[in-house]
Chains A and B, each alone.
Chain A
């Protein structure tokens, strides 16, 4: 019961570890960037699930809603998603330039050329 009740945290931990593993294990730079994205997504889920109030609705001000989820984590995560997108965009831009300069995007091959 304890484990099932904390389902969201297990999902977060699984995604976080998968992301970190991809960053460490793969030589391909694009895959590393995908790993970073998965890692960041797990944090977004952590924040969003923190804001959930069981039985609550979406935080929209109406007469019928008495109980609603905390809107603050959603707002924070909107900002964090923007940061994540900027990181991905910049990372991809650098990968394109790495490909032009080195002719490869494999980590081990670049390190041989350095």
Chain B
């Protein structure tokens, strides 16, 4: 009985417990609650994945109103795959969050952070789960509004300006998505994504539908920080509490990449978006720009958080590059990179969290010789960095290799050169941190014995994600296997 309602429980459980956190008014209790809730949603995501991996999709009509009149939740393999990524990141990060958050924000605000976190989780899960275009907009705004709040919660006053900038740009992006939904409704009279794709067949070449696709792509490009619309991302990741950066880096941008894939493949149609409107050519130019710009900017940074933020822009470029190749293999590479990048970036940000907890700084110039004082954390950062570069036997390699294969088979030689060149650039920026950690004379301030080592749960979370990097580099049935199945399902 309960198992029939798993799709709605996935979204509603965090939504219900978010206000409970506010009522509790206690940081520790809220943390326990948020951890429990994210574990439960993680279990539900696993159950959903096992039940759809056989190939039978689940549709759930909200309130018994059958689509297209009612709102429908739709779980196919792509949805379940994204749910798994979001929930895995959310569960591990929130369990590890307690001491790190307590050290970074005022203690009377902690419960508000956990409430915002659960709301954000609701929004992200809802975006992935919903089969209704307007519902998608609402969930995007739930996720975005709570992330503005989570960014502005830090003690550093610069976070306020970063949050406001994100709020302005994010609202413009969401409004563009709303315009797109309105135009689609105007030509078809329906909001259900799958119903829309059926009815668009007859009216595809009208200006209204083309405008809708353009508005949607630009709106999503702002939200997913696709170059050159990434301006909010570096500040938001740098000035927010490091746990928030970890969570955002692991989930938010990926969900919007999902929305782009869903709209292109399930709604507008591959044929219309790519062959008639050559959206792929536009995306390819942007993606190449992102990959090069992000990597070059990352080399110039002194703050590790900012370095990782620019590296995220480059990695988002890889995901978009996979989509823009417009073949089944390219899409599979993109989806696999969504998974791998979540694993890589969370590992890297968690190691930064350990460093910040102990030394309260993330500036490379102040962390010379840190490997002497935090050997495990430095080693974890090194392994995460190797995975980011794409060294064989790490997760980062598998999706990059798939991307290179896709470029080869589609005949894009120049893309292969760009991918290899930007990998060399990523060696440079990872090396910048590794060199400071291992080969510089230790800074005197770091030898201070009064500093407190990072909490055990934070280390456990870090180890889980670093081991995941190595595990998914050799055992590719989850990331590459699912990505290929999903791409096959979407293209055919």
Contacts and interface: CB of A to CB of B under 8 A. Distances in A.
Nearest to A111: B161
Given A36-B171, A114-B158, A83 B164 contact: no
A95 B164 contact: yes
Interface stretch (B177-185, B192-200, B432-440, B481-489): B177-185
A36 B134 contact: no
A23 B171 CA distance: 11
- Interface size on B, as a range, is 20 to 34
A76 B133 CA distance: 11
Nearest to B163: A94
B148 interface: yes
A87 interface: yes
Contact of B175 (A32, A43, A72, A76): A43
A87 B141 contact: yes
A98 B185 contact: no
Contacts of B149: 90
A71 interface: no
Contact of A50 (B137, B168, B185): B185
Interface in B123-139: 134, 137-138
A114 B234 CA distance: 14
Interface string B130-168: 000010011001000100110010000110110110011
A102 B152 contact: no
Given A43-B175, A87-B141, A94 B158 contact: no
Contacts of B460: none
Nearest to B174: A83
Which secondary structure characterizes the binding site on chain B? helix
Interface in A74-105: 76, 79-80, 83, 86-87, 90-91, 94-95, 97-98, 101-102
B168 A32 contact: yes
Nearest to A39: B175
A97 B60 CA distance: 42
A23 B172 contact: yes
B203 to A, nearest CB: 15
Which secondary structure characterizes the binding site on chain A? helix
B145 A40 contact: no
A87 B161 CA distance: 15
Contacts of A98: 160-161, 164
Interface in A46-84: 46-47, 50, 72-73, 76, 79-80, 83
- Interface size on A, as a range, is 20 to 34
B158 A39 contact: no
Contact of B171 (A40, A79, A114): A40
A77 B247 CA distance: 31
B157 A102 contact: yes
Given A94-B160, A94-B163, A76 B134 contact: yes
B186 interface: yes
B161 A91 contact: no
Nearest to A97: B160
B134 A91 contact: no
Contact of A87 (B137, B171, B182, B185): B171
A97 B141 contact: no
B185 A94 contact: no
Interface string B395-413: 0000000000000000000
Contacts of B175: 39-40, 43
Nearest to B161: A110
Contacts of A72: 185
24 contacts: A20-B172, A40-B171, A43-B182, A46-B182, A47-B185, A50-B182, A50-B185, A79-B134, A83-B138, A83-B141, A87-B141, A87-B171, A90-B148, A91-B164, A91-B167, A91-B168, A94-B167, A97-B152, A97-B160, A98-B164, A101-B160, A102-B161, A110-B161, A114-B158
Q: Which 4 A-B pairs have the closest CB atoms?
A: A101-B157, A83-B141, A98-B160, A50-B186
Interface of B: 134, 137-138, 141, 145, 148-149, 152, 157-158, 160-161, 163-164, 167-168, 171-172, 174-175, 178-179, 182, 185-186
Given A47-B185, A101-B160, 10 more contacts: A36-B168, A43-B179, A43-B182, A72-B185, A86-B141, A87-B145, A90-B167, A98-B161, A98-B164, A101-B157
